[in-house]
Amino acid sequence: MLGKTKRYLEVTRVLFKYNLIPELYHDLRTEYISNPDCTCTFDLENRETAVKLRQAFEELGPTFIKMGQTMSKRPDLVPQPYVIEMANLQDRVKPVPFEEMAESLDLACVCEYQTREERKRKKSEEELKAARERKAKAFIDIFDSFDPEPIACGSIAQVYKGILEGKPVAVKILRPHLIDIINIDLSILDDFKPVMKKVMGVGKNFDIDAFLLEIREMLTREVDLRIEAVNMRRFEDNFKNVKNVSVPTIYPDYCSANVLTMEFIQGTQVKDIIDMPLPQSKKSEYTRTITKSYLKQVYIDGFYHADPHGGNMLVEENDTVSFIDFGAVGSIDDELKRNMLEFYYAINNRDVERATQGFLKIGGADSRDVDVRRLRKDMDELIANQNYGLEGRQSDNYAKLGLKYDIRLPGEFSTLQRAILLIEGVCLELDPRYNIKSIAIPVLMDAYKKLNTPKGAALHIEFSSEPVDEKAEMRAAIREVADKMEGMGDRFLEVRQKDKRREVFSKEIFLAVLLVVSAYILLYGEVFYWVGLAGFGGAILIAVIASLKGK
pLDDT in tens, 164-189: 999 999 999 999 988 888 999 999 98
> Would you list the DSSP string of 456-502?
HHHHHHHHTS-SSSTTHHHHHHHHHHHHHHHHHHHHHHHHTT-HHHH
Region 451-478: what's the mean pLDDT?
43
The closest of 74, 81, 99 to 203, measured between CA atoms, is: 74
Return all residues near 291 (Cβ < 8 A) that are at least 6 apart: 423, 427, 436, 439, 440
Residue 256 and residue 321 in contact, taking contact as beta carbons nearer than 8 Å: no
The closest of 274, 264, 275 to 152, measured between CA atoms, is: 264
Tell me the pTM.
0.71
Specify the higher pLDDT residue, 506 or 236.
236
Residue-level pLDDT at 473: 41
Residue-level pLDDT at 70: 80
- Report the amino acid identity of residue 171: V
Name the least confident of 163-172, 322-331, 397-406, 520-529.
520-529
SS3 category, 521? helix
What are 41-57's pLDDT values in tens digits?
Answer: 666 666 788 899 999 99
Give how far Cα 489 sits from Cα of 207, 455, 504, 509, Å: 35, 11, 14, 9
Region 100-114: what's the mean pLDDT?
77
The closest of 207, 164, 215 to 187, measured between CA atoms, is: 215
Judged against a pLDDT cut of 50, whether residue 469 lies above it is answered with no
What are 429-463's pLDDT values in tens digits?
Answer: 999 888 887 787 777 767 766 665 554 444 443 44
What are 249-307's pLDDT values in tens digits?
Answer: 999 999 999 999 999 999 999 999 999 999 999 999 999 999 999 989 988 899 999 88
What are 524-550's pLDDT values in tens digits?
Answer: 555 555 666 676 677 667 766 665 665
Judged against a pLDDT cut of 90, whether residue 235 lies above it is answered with yes
The C-alpha atoms of residue 426 and residue 420 are separated, in whole angstroms, by 10
- Report the amino acid identity of residue 108: A
Residue-level pLDDT at 398: 76
Return all residues near 210 (Cβ < 8 A) that are at least 6 apart: 411
CATH 3.30.200 fits 96-174+223-263, yes or no: yes
The C-alpha atoms of residue 478 and residue 520 are separated, in whole angstroms, by 8
Give how far Cα 59 sits from Cα of 10, 48, 56, 123, 196, Å: 10, 17, 5, 32, 19
- Report the amino acid identity of residue 291: T
> Would you list the DSSP string of 378-431?
HHHHHHHHHHHPPSS-----HHHHHHHTT----HHHHHHHHHHHHHHHHHHHH-
Q: How far apart are the first and last CA of the chain?
A: 80
Residue-level pLDDT at 43: 63
The C-alpha atoms of residue 139 and residue 521 are separated, in whole angstroms, by 66
The C-alpha atoms of residue 454 and residue 458 are separated, in whole angstroms, by 6
Residue-level pLDDT at 395: 52
Range picked from 319-333, 416-430, 446-460 for highest mean pLDDT:
319-333
Residue 344 and residue 338 in contact, taking contact as beta carbons nearer than 8 Å: no
Residue-level pLDDT at 290: 95
CA angle 296, 157, 67 (to 5 degrees): 70
The C-alpha atoms of residue 393 and residue 131 are separated, in whole angstroms, by 55
Judged against a pLDDT cut of 90, whether residue 226 lies above it is answered with yes
69 alpha-carbon distance from chain centroid: 12
Residue-level pLDDT at 354: 92
> Would you list the DSSP string of 79-139?
-HHHHHHHTT-----PPPPGGGGGGG-TT--------HHHHHSPPPHHHHHHHHHHHHHHH
Residue-level pLDDT at 303: 93
The C-alpha atoms of residue 292 and residue 7 are separated, in whole angstroms, by 45
207 alpha-carbon distance from chain centroid: 20
Give how far Cα 502 sits from Cα of 249, 454, 495, 513, 545, Å: 54, 21, 5, 17, 19
Judged against a pLDDT cut of 90, whether residue 374 lies above it is answered with yes
Specify the higher pLDDT residue, 157 or 110.
157
The C-alpha atoms of residue 165 and residue 369 are separated, in whole angstroms, by 63
Count CB-CB contacts under 10 A for residue 278: 14
Torsion of CA 206, 210, 216, 221, to 10 degrees: -110
The C-alpha atoms of residue 10 and residue 136 are separated, in whole angstroms, by 31
H-run or E-run covering 172: strand 167-174
The C-alpha atoms of residue 375 and residue 12 are separated, in whole angstroms, by 43
H-run or E-run covering 158: strand 157-164
CA angle 372, 373, 378 (to 5 degrees): 90
Name the least confident of 51-55, 354-358, 382-386.
382-386
Residue-level pLDDT at 168: 97
- Report the amino acid identity of residue 505: F
Write down the mean pLDDT value for the chain: 79
Residue 101 and residue 136 in contact, taking contact as beta carbons nearer than 8 Å: yes
The closest of 436, 42, 395, 102 to 258, measured between CA atoms, is: 102
What are 2-61's pLDDT values in tens digits?
Answer: 688 899 999 999 999 998 878 777 766 666 556 555 556 666 666 788 899 999 998 998
Region 327-332: what's the mean pLDDT?
88
Q: Taking each helix axis as running N to C, give the angle between helix 41-60 and helix 20-28, from 0 to 180 degrees, rounded to the nearest 10.
A: 140
